[in-house]
Chain A
Amino acid sequence: MNGVELRNVTKAYAGLTVMEDINLEIADGDFLVLLGPSGCGKSTLLNMIAGLEPTTDGSIHINGRDVTSLEPDERDIAMVFQSYALYPTMSVRRNIGFGLKMRGMLRDEIDKRVAEVGDLLQITPLLDRKPSQLSGGQQQRVAIGRALVREPSVFLFDEPLSNLDAKLRADMRIELKRLHERLGRTIVYVTHDQIEAMTLATKVVVLDKGGIQQVDTPENVYRRPANRFVASFVGAPTMNFLDGKLSQNGDDIVFDSGAGCLPLVNVPAEARDLIGRPMTLGARPEHMLFDETGISSRVLLAEPTGPDQYVRLAVAGSELTARSGPEQIFRSGSDTRILIDGARMTLFDSQSGQALLTA
């Protein structure tokens, strides 16, 4: 198949297995984001695709070709690094053209391609400068240009926006998305920033402890997390978790945490099968509803963010976060009532952490 395929890829350092049996298919034209905390193995995985780190076992295929034992420059890939990794002694023009020169391309052809990429990324006026004379954002453009000019079939990005300030990061995010839509090339993108994952990806791979936790669209990773790790890693502020069990209260189903019963609304029918089983309930702040029929809770703190405010509540022996519009005023120490939108909650097995029921 076209695109990238990892088959049973395993990585071990000095006998210590850090990644085991990774299987992943990246379709042609996908924008795949590898998302996970530091040390989850996402950069190792990217380096293995690039050929910068050897695989201990398994194989990697790019456009149907087994590249497992090929050098990085033979794999038809290009990579953009977090630190930009521009050659400090070369001008921007030579930086971009270096890969082509190494491939023995003729000077005229290199100049033409560099000029095209310069136009595309709007860095033409910078072509004769040295990297040290550029701002962070400009350096990042040059690094992207160096990847684009090669016209590889797969682009690899290793946390490319992490060194930029917040405003620039948002701008570059939009540009990267445009670039992907325009070029339609396969991109594998490593980040620990879930906003980047949500906004850019056509497909997200959530990694933790050297293993794939979930592969899905950004929407599904957010709405239907496969397990507790994914649920807690994706979303800010993080999802609320409550240990306890579902129980029947008249006609209604409530969540019994031991210290109190939280009322649920719109509970799906399948939930009835799970009554009594020990589990963890996960509910995002926006699925905590302020309602007169809810359970009494105490306001601990309100954090206005502009469009929303996040309210920390003491409910049934736990601290939970609920989202509210900016208009309502919550005073610390006052009482309010809260219930959970059962249609959007996720239930996890208390032992394995696997999702039992998702939206």
Chain B
Amino acid sequence: MRYNRLALYGLLCVAAIMILSPVFIMISTSLKSMDEIRNGSIFTLPVDPGFAAWSKAWFGDCAKTLGEGCGGLSSSFMTSVKVVIPALILSVGLGAITGYALAAWKMKGANVMFAALLVGMFIPPQVTLYPLIIMIRELGIFGTIPGLILVHVIWGVAFTTMMFRNFFKTVPQDLLKAARIDGAGFWRLFWHVMLPISLPILGVAMILQFTYIWNDFLLGLTFGGRAGQPMTVALNNLVGSQFGEKEYNVDMAATMLTALPTLAVYLLSGRLFVRGIAAGAVKG
């Protein structure tokens, strides 16, 4: 029994080290100066830690760039925020409503529609990229933030619909009947009864959608254009297109900055996340 415990904790420690060591290297490197990076090992702790690289990654280096902006991530951070918040609200909101409609109301063709959504989820985005580009171009919003938001909503809504539909299917039929007898129609049943029940799932859907949209690179690169360049694309540009010496500390700091929002969301909502995943059934 004791040895089993020991083995279990040993295994967990190894796994944690494997996952955390790159993160450690990134943070440690981002706090070093270039001289120290050039002469030392990547595993050593910074001798004289400083946030110069972080500041450079965020604000950019105005001496090196021409034209508007200084090449930092701060402006694309704002773009990402402008994309993520509406895309998040729309994809989760629409998913909740369609999932509710599919699960709680008897409609002709509901199952066919649900099957179509599922198929849609399994098609890789690359396959539909070109048709989507044409659609968005025809709408006249290609290369803009609204265009990128729309693409994210289209991609997200299949997933969120499935989540909400599966959750709402577990709500007892009697509860829906009771609400109908009480006089709650489509929207009031949704708003007063179903949505409050679905809070844990709502939380999970928000977190997952936030992560997907924030971490997305392909759609941002394709649909964002210059105006709608999200942080991931800016990071790629920053890391991939520098003249002269490679500034590892700035690259690491920029990568950490890009990853911080999703990390923060996970850390702050960890409890909610676990609760939502565990919330399979509704207790009457």
Interface of A toward B, CB cutoff 8 Å = 47, 50, 52, 71-73, 77-79, 81-90, 98-99, 102-103, 131-132, 139, 146, 158
- Give the segment of B9-17, B137-145, B175-183, B240-248 that binds chain A: B175-183
Nearest-neighbor residue (CB-CB) of B198 within chain A:
A89
Shortest distance from the beta carbon of A188 to any chain B beta carbon, whole Å: 13
Residue pair A85, B284 in contact (C-beta under 8 Å): yes
Partner of A89, one of B172, B177, B183, B196: B196
Task: List, in ascending order, chain B residues with CB within 8 A of A98's CB.
Answer: 179, 182, 184, 192
Known: A73-B182, A78-B181, A99-B182. Is A85-B197 also a contact (CB below 8 A)? Answer: no
11 contacts between A and B (CB under 8 A): A47-B177, A52-B177, A73-B182, A81-B177, A84-B174, A84-B284, A86-B178, A87-B175, A88-B282, A89-B196, A90-B196
Residue pair A88, B284 in contact (C-beta under 8 Å): yes
A73 to B181 alpha-carbon distance, docked (Å) = 5
Residue pair A85, B174 in contact (C-beta under 8 Å): yes
A72 to B181 alpha-carbon distance, docked (Å) = 5
Residue pair B284, A131 in contact (C-beta under 8 Å): yes
Task: List, in ascending order, chain B residues with CB within 8 A of A79's CB.
Answer: 177-178, 181
Task: List, in ascending order, chain B residues with CB within 8 A of A86's CB.
Answer: 178, 284
Task: List, in ascending order, chain B residues with CB within 8 A of A73's CB.
Answer: 180-183
Interface of B toward A, CB cutoff 8 Å = 172, 174-175, 177-184, 188, 192-193, 196-197, 199, 282-284
Residue pair B181, A87 in contact (C-beta under 8 Å): no
Shortest distance from the beta carbon of B179 to any chain A beta carbon, whole Å: 7
Shortest distance from the beta carbon of A174 to any chain B beta carbon, whole Å: 25
Partner of B182, one of A88, A102, A131: A102
Residue pair A87, B179 in contact (C-beta under 8 Å): yes
A131 to B181 alpha-carbon distance, docked (Å) = 19
A131 to B197 alpha-carbon distance, docked (Å) = 13
Residue pair B180, A99 in contact (C-beta under 8 Å): no
Task: List, in ascending order, chain A residues with CB within 8 A of B199's CB.
Answer: 89
Partner of A83, one of B172, B181, B183: B172
Number of interchain pairs (Cβ within 8 Å): 70
Residue pair A85, B178 in contact (C-beta under 8 Å): yes
Shortest distance from the beta carbon of B217 to any chain A beta carbon, whole Å: 39
Task: List, in ascending order, chain B residues with CB within 8 A of A85's CB.
Answer: 172, 174-175, 177-178, 284
Task: List, in ascending order, chain B residues with CB within 8 A of A90's CB.
Answer: 196
Residue pair A102, B177 in contact (C-beta under 8 Å): no
Residue pair A50, B197 in contact (C-beta under 8 Å): no
Residue pair A88, B174 in contact (C-beta under 8 Å): no
A211 to B283 alpha-carbon distance, docked (Å) = 35
Partner of B180, one of A72, A103, A131, A146: A72
Residue pair B174, A82 in contact (C-beta under 8 Å): yes
Partner of A88, one of B177, B180, B283: B283
Nearest-neighbor residue (CB-CB) of A103 within chain B:
B183
Residue pair B174, A81 in contact (C-beta under 8 Å): yes
Shortest distance from the beta carbon of A278 to any chain B beta carbon, whole Å: 47
Residue pair B180, A52 in contact (C-beta under 8 Å): yes
Task: List, in ascending order, chain A residues with CB within 8 A of B283's CB.
Answer: 88, 132
Nearest-neighbor residue (CB-CB) of B284 within chain A:
A83
Choose among A85, A103, A131 the residue with the greatest number of B CB atoms under 10 Å from its CB: A85
A90 to B182 alpha-carbon distance, docked (Å) = 14
Task: List, in ascending order, chain B residues with CB within 8 A of A71's CB.
Answer: 180
Nearest-neighbor residue (CB-CB) of B199 within chain A:
A89
Task: List, in ascending order, chain A residues with CB within 8 A of B179's CB.
Answer: 87, 98
Known: A86-B284, A88-B197. Is A99-B183 also a contact (CB below 8 A)? Answer: yes
Task: List, in ascending order, chain B residues with CB within 8 A of A82's CB.
Answer: 174
Task: List, in ascending order, chain A residues with CB within 8 A of B192's CB.
Answer: 87, 98
Choose among B172, B177, B181, B182 the residue with the greatest number of A CB atoms under 10 Å from its CB: B181
Task: List, in ascending order, chain A residues with CB within 8 A of B183's CB.
Answer: 73, 99, 102-103
Nearest-neighbor residue (CB-CB) of B181 within chain A:
A72
A52 to B178 alpha-carbon distance, docked (Å) = 10
Task: List, in ascending order, chain A residues with CB within 8 A of B196's CB.
Answer: 87, 89-90
A72 to B180 alpha-carbon distance, docked (Å) = 6
A99 to B174 alpha-carbon distance, docked (Å) = 15
Residue pair B184, A102 in contact (C-beta under 8 Å): yes
Residue pair B174, A83 in contact (C-beta under 8 Å): yes
A202 to B199 alpha-carbon distance, docked (Å) = 45
Shortest distance from the beta carbon of A53 to any chain B beta carbon, whole Å: 10
Residue pair B181, A99 in contact (C-beta under 8 Å): yes
A252 to B91 alpha-carbon distance, docked (Å) = 85
Shortest distance from the beta carbon of A45 to any chain B beta carbon, whole Å: 15
Shortest distance from the beta carbon of B100 to any chain A beta carbon, whole Å: 15
Shortest distance from the beta carbon of A249 to any chain B beta carbon, whole Å: 58
A131 to B282 alpha-carbon distance, docked (Å) = 12
Shortest distance from the beta carbon of B133 to any chain A beta carbon, whole Å: 43
Task: List, in ascending order, chain A residues with CB within 8 A of B172's CB.
Answer: 83, 85
Nearest-neighbor residue (CB-CB) of A52 within chain B:
B177
Nearest-neighbor residue (CB-CB) of A87 within chain B:
B193
A82 to B177 alpha-carbon distance, docked (Å) = 12
A56 to B188 alpha-carbon distance, docked (Å) = 28
